[in-house]
Amino acid sequence: DAKTTQPNSMESNEEEPVHLPCNHSTISGTDYIHWYRQLPSQGPEYVIHGLTSNVNNRMASLAIAEDRKSSTLILHRATLRDAAVYYCILMSNTDKLIFGTGTRLQVFP
């Protein structure tokens, strides 16, 4: 399975944008980039996914580098509820999600 690298932790202030990076230099042409998050004491939650083009949804934006070796999850205005562990996961034909250690995001009021 293709590997991703994320910072262990990041901090943000409330209502500021947050850019969560993910490196995936060994990504293959068929790998989709998925982002999930896990709020404290909850199950993982889908955030966004993409293949080549940048993607937007109501939760976040996903910016994918032109060479696809990295991507950035963008939370446009962080709230206290966005404090969670964020996971960047590559998926191709496999059906399962392989979670790493993710990035723990702290949001300060």
Among the candidate windows 7-15, 36-44, 62-70, 76-84, which touches another protein by CB under 8 A?
Answer: 36-44
For residues 17 and 78, give the distance between their C-alpha atoms in angstroms, rounded to a whole number. Answer: 6
Would you state the structure tokens that stand for residue 93, as one six-digit string? 């034909």
Pairing of strands 18-23, 70-75: antiparallel
- The answer to whether residue 101 forms part of the interface with another protein (CB under 8 A) is yes
Cα gap 12→22, rounded to integer Å:
17
42 counts as binding another protein under rule CB under 8 A? yes
Find out whether 106 and 11 touch, Cβ atoms under 8 Å: yes
99 lies in the binding site for another protein (CB under 8 A)? yes
Tell me if 58 contacts another protein by CB under 8 A: no
Q: How many residues bind another protein (CB under 8 A)?
A: 22
d(CA 56, CA 65): 15
Of the listed pieces 7-15, 38-46, 59-67, 76-84, which binds another protein according to CB under 8 A? 38-46
- Binding residues for another protein (CB under 8 A): 30-32, 34, 38, 42-46, 49, 91-101
